[in-house]
């Protein structure tokens, strides 16, 4: 297959996946996640059920596509950081850059479709549970990057502790941003507080609780 043809095929696949996701979210919000079938989604997009399953193995995969797309971001940030930069500094820079860009992964995106997914998560226990499992996978990927096999004792435990702190930090910061946006504030209004909170949280992690003066 020639390169232009491959590129065209990939763009078509991306458009189909986006159409499936947008249609599914609209149906989920109107009728409730549990009340919508894959057959209904397929019919609305005018594709077969098998086509839907080829793109998204489960309904949960469909609903949580934006979150799943970011799984592994933290591990990749640490892996690709510049020489001499600490993992905490790399993740701080990435999170602050994301806040400035209104990246949905930071919780600071008030685009209607992003907030719709957040509301859906709040209203659907099965999706909230799946999101927790995705977060656990994110922690595991980061722990693998932070592992120091040369240390005495069990380096896997230490790496998992570090990963839990860093992923938990990002999750809590994002959750606070989402809470304020869902309450009606704009991303522009929340941004200064979000940056200040992120700076303080990463400082706390970098220097430890004793270094916080509290």
State the CATH number of the domain containing residue 132. 1.10.357
Residues of the chain with pLDDT under 70: 1-6, 149-155, 209-214
pLDDT at 70: 87
Same domain, 112 and 71: yes
Structure tokens at 181: 């946006």
pLDDT at 197: 98
Which residue segment(s) compose the domain that 50 sits in? Answer: 3-62
Same domain, 70 and 58: no
Domain end: 14, 30, 62, which one?
A: 62
Same domain, 193 and 145: yes
pLDDT at 9: 80
Same domain, 178 and 83: yes
Per-residue pLDDT tens over the stretch 147-191: 976 555 565 898 999 999 999 999 999 999 999 999 999 999 999
Into how many domains does the chain fold? 2
pLDDT at 155: 58
Same domain, 41 and 71: no
pLDDT at 122: 84
Return the CATH number at 31: 1.10.10.60
Same domain, 74 and 141: yes
């Amino acid at each position: 297959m020639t390169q232009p043809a491959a590129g065209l095929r990939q763009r078509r696949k991306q458009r189909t996946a986006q159409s499936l996701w947008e249609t599914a979210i609209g149906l989920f919000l109107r009728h409730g996640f549990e009340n919508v079938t894959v057959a209904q989604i397929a019919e609305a997009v005018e594709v077969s059920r098998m086509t839907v399953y080829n793109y998204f193995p489960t309904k949960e995969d469909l609903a949580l596509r934006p979150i799943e797309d970011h799984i592994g971001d933290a591990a990749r940030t640490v892996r690709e950081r510049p020489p001499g930069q600490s993992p905490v500094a790399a993740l701080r820079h990435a999170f602050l850059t994301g806040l400035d860009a209104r990246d949905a992964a930071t919780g600071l995106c008030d685009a209607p479709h992003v907030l719709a997914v957040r509301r859906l998560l709040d209203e659907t226990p099965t999706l909230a549970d799946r999101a927790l499992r995705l977060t656990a996978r994110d922690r595991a990927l980061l722990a693998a990057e932070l592992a120091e096999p040369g240390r005495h004792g069990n380096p896997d435990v230490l790496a998992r502790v570090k990963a839990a702190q860093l992923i938990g930090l990002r999750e809590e910061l994002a959750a606070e941003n989402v809470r304020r946006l869902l309450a009606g504030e704009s991303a522009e209004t929340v941004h200064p507080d979000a940056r200040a909170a992120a700076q303080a949280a990463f400082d706390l992690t970098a220097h430890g609780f004793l270094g916080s003066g509290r």
